[in-house]
Chain A
Amino acid sequence: MKRSKLWAWIILILGALYFLLPLVATLLFSLSIRRGTYSLDAYTNVVQAPAFQQTFTFSLVVGVATIVVGLLIVVPAAYFVRLRAPQLRPIIEFVTLLPLIIPPIILVFGYIRMYNSSSLLPLTNTALGTNILLTLAYVALALPYMYRAVDTGLRTIDVQTLTEAANILGANTLTILVRVIFPNIIVAVLSGAFLTLAIVIGEFTIASLLNRPAFGVYMQNVGANRAFEPAALAVISFVITWIAMGMIQLLARFAPKTAPRTD
Chain B
Amino acid sequence: MADEFLHIENLVKSFNGNTVVKSVNLAFNKGEFVTLLGPSGCGKTTILRMVAGFERPTSGTILVEGKDISPLPPNQRKIGMVFQAYALFPNMNVEDNVGFGLKIGRVPRDEARARVEEMLKLIGLSGYGKRFPFEMSGGQQQRVALARALAPKPKMLLLDEPLSALDAKIRVSLREEIRAIQRELGITTMFVTHDQEEALSISDRIVVLNAGHVEQFGTPFEIYNRPTTRFAATFVGTLNTLAAKVIDPATKSVSIDGQIAIIPSLSSAARSGDAISLTLRPEAISLANGHARDIVLDGTVSEVAFLGAVIRLKVNLGENALHLDTFNDQHSPPPRYDEKVKITFGGSDILVLGD
Which of A's residues lie within 8 Å of B, judged by CB?
Answer: 157-158, 161-162, 164-172, 175, 179-180, 183-184, 186, 256-263
Q: A170 to B138, Cβ gap below 8 A?
A: no
B contact residues around A175 at 8 Å (CB)? 104
Q: A263 to B167, Cβ gap below 8 A?
A: yes
Known: A184-B89, A261-B137, A263-B139. A168 touches B165 (CB 8 A): no
* A-B interface pairs (CB < 8 A), number: 94
B163 smallest CB distance to A (angstroms): 10
Interface residues of B in 66-117 (CB under 8 A from A): 73-77, 79-81, 83, 85-91, 100-101, 104-105
A contact residues around B306 at 8 Å (CB)? none
Inter-chain CA distance A172–B87, complex, in Å, is 17
Known: A158-B87, A165-B83, A166-B100. A260 touches B75 (CB 8 A): no
* Interchain CB contact (< 8 A) of B165 among A167, A186, A260: A260
Most buried by A among B76, B134, B141, B145: B134
Inter-chain CA distance A162–B75, complex, in Å, is 13
A contact residues around B88 at 8 Å (CB)? 165
Q: A168 to B91, Cβ gap below 8 A?
A: no
Q: A165 to B89, Cβ gap below 8 A?
A: yes
B144 smallest CB distance to A (angstroms): 12
28 contacts between A and B (CB under 8 A): A158-B87, A162-B89, A164-B83, A165-B83, A165-B88, A166-B89, A166-B100, A167-B54, A167-B73, A167-B74, A168-B53, A169-B149, A170-B75, A170-B76, A170-B101, A175-B104, A183-B91, A256-B132, A258-B90, A258-B133, A260-B86, A260-B138, A260-B165, A261-B136, A261-B138, A262-B166, A263-B139, A263-B167
* Interchain CB contact (< 8 A) of A172 among B75, B85, B90, B137: B75
B306 smallest CB distance to A (angstroms): 28
Inter-chain CA distance A262–B19, complex, in Å, is 34
Inter-chain CA distance A161–B145, complex, in Å, is 12
| Further 11 A-B residue pairs, CB within 8 A, beyond A165-B88, A261-B138 | A158-B85, A161-B83, A164-B81, A164-B87, A166-B89, A169-B148, A169-B152, A258-B90, A261-B136, A262-B167, A263-B137
Known: A258-B134, A260-B138. A170 touches B90 (CB 8 A): no
B255 smallest CB distance to A (angstroms): 51
Q: B87 to A170, Cβ gap below 8 A?
A: no
Which of B's residues lie within 8 Å of A, judged by CB?
Answer: 52-54, 73-77, 79-81, 83, 85-91, 100-101, 104-105, 132-134, 136-139, 141, 145, 148-149, 152, 165-167, 170
Inter-chain CA distance A169–B152, complex, in Å, is 8
B197 smallest CB distance to A (angstroms): 18
Q: B91 to A257, Cβ gap below 8 A?
A: no
A154 smallest CB distance to B (angstroms): 13
Known: A165-B87, A166-B100, A263-B170. A257 touches B134 (CB 8 A): yes
Inter-chain CA distance A261–B143, complex, in Å, is 13
B contact residues around A179 at 8 Å (CB)? 100
Q: A262 to B91, Cβ gap below 8 A?
A: no
A contact residues around B149 at 8 Å (CB)? 168-169
Inter-chain CA distance A156–B137, complex, in Å, is 20
Inter-chain CA distance A186–B141, complex, in Å, is 23
Known: A257-B132, A259-B134. A170 touches B165 (CB 8 A): no
CB nearest to B91 among chain A residues: A183
CB nearest to B166 among chain A residues: A262
Inter-chain CA distance A165–B101, complex, in Å, is 10
Q: A161 to B85, Cβ gap below 8 A?
A: yes
Q: B104 to A171, Cβ gap below 8 A?
A: yes
Inter-chain CA distance A92–B25, complex, in Å, is 42
CB nearest to A164 among chain B residues: B54
A178 smallest CB distance to B (angstroms): 12
B contact residues around A164 at 8 Å (CB)? 52, 54, 74, 81, 83, 87
B contact residues around A261 at 8 Å (CB)? 136-138, 141
B174 smallest CB distance to A (angstroms): 11
Q: B167 to A168, Cβ gap below 8 A?
A: no
Q: B166 to A256, Cβ gap below 8 A?
A: no
Inter-chain CA distance A197–B81, complex, in Å, is 42
B contact residues around A162 at 8 Å (CB)? 87, 89
Q: A168 to B90, Cβ gap below 8 A?
A: no
Q: B90 to A157, Cβ gap below 8 A?
A: yes
Which A-B residue pairs are the 7 nearest by beta carbons? A257-B134, A256-B90, A169-B101, A165-B87, A183-B91, A170-B104, A261-B138
A contact residues around B76 at 8 Å (CB)? 170
Known: A162-B89, A164-B87, A262-B166. A169 touches B100 (CB 8 A): yes
